[in-house]
Structure 1
């Protein structure tokens, strides 16, 4: 059966945990408005919107699909390399039909090496790394997210997620394992300020070398450029008047 095809309903070992046994999402904060603008008026009409910021809870076995097999194989591979699985993998999340392994940053290289080299896993491709900034998640504000694919085993896909605090934004580079990640790590450093230790040349790739700050962080100042349309000028968002 293809990895992309759901298992028959009578194969209980391949089904996700039953409703009621899956933990509820974890609320880490509240979002006000639609676009996160706080230093100027929200003229979109959504300024009164209040919504919780939710993180998926830790998954409960069985995870479903091929996810249990990948977790078991990774545990065996790490144990063989003298890196205990419980030390390396902080938690497992299954959400929106994706498997995410939260990896402690000091074990990222060992996990990446095992996922690439173990014959039963063979995640040969890292499709890149992207950054996320969660200012309300104290001590874990910066996240680096890696998407891996195994061509050998039917295009299986998993995600790795690694966190770092704002005051110590260091995560090991995995360029030695996945060389093409060179440019993706540079972009994530440029936009979010994550320091990828061991990167061969961690320099800006999108912004000028002397650019101050990291533009995709949520605490970066809102900016813009004036837009002229048929004789009328629309100022940048942070210069528009507010509405009560």
Structure 2
């Protein structure tokens, strides 16, 4: 059924070489695309297919399960068409960066900052890429799977809870 989705059909027509995978699960369509084309593909989705709202930007850490280690995830919505699509792009640990979509959707400014802060993915050309939840002097990125459970350089709690 994902293959019959209007956005998937248009994306495959225009970006066949950049579409890595198309999946549908419980009625939700996910398209995995080449990282180098994320800005161009998202621009096409916004301008040509009217996905005018970026509802979320997040990331997944596949430490030890697959390469590349990270996946940037964009949840988009078309208000006029009442349609959703999820776009994913693999991000390798060795070059942990992807182009920012803040020029397309202003809502991505804070969403990308959160992903940067908690997962350590850099967004190229972001207008204000800095921590948003953790303090400026915080070491590391707490949602990475290899982040120490007690935090960086912290001793486990040895006191009483009561």
What TM-score does the superposition give when structure 1 sets the normalisation length? 0.60
Q: Would you say the 8 A contact 2:35–2:90 is kept in 1?
A: yes
May I ask how many residue pairs the two structures share in their alignment? 158
- State the Cα distance separating 1:164 from its structure 2 match: 0.9
* The structure with more radius of gyration: 1
Name which of 160, 179, 191 aligns with 2:106: 179
Write 1 or 2 for the structure with the bigger share of helix.
Answer: 2
1:149 aligned to 2:77?
yes
Task: List structure 1 segments (4+ residues) > 6 angstroms apart after TM superposition.
Answer: none
Aligned twin of 2:86: 159
Name which of 115, 123, 138 aligns with 1:211: 138
Q: Would you say the 8 A contact 1:144–1:162 is kept in 2?
A: yes
Computed over aligned residues only, the root mean square deviation of the Cα atoms, in angstroms, reads 2.1
What TM-score does the superposition give when structure 2 sets the normalisation length? 0.89
Aligned twin of 2:54: 126
Q: Which runs of 5+ in 1 are unaligned?
A: 1-15, 17-62, 79-84, 235-244
Q: Which runs of 5+ in 2 are unaligned?
A: none
Aligned twin of 2:95: 168
Q: Would you say the 8 A contact 2:12–2:19 is kept in 1?
A: no
Q: How does 1:194-209 map to 2 (within 5 A)?
A: 194-209=121-136
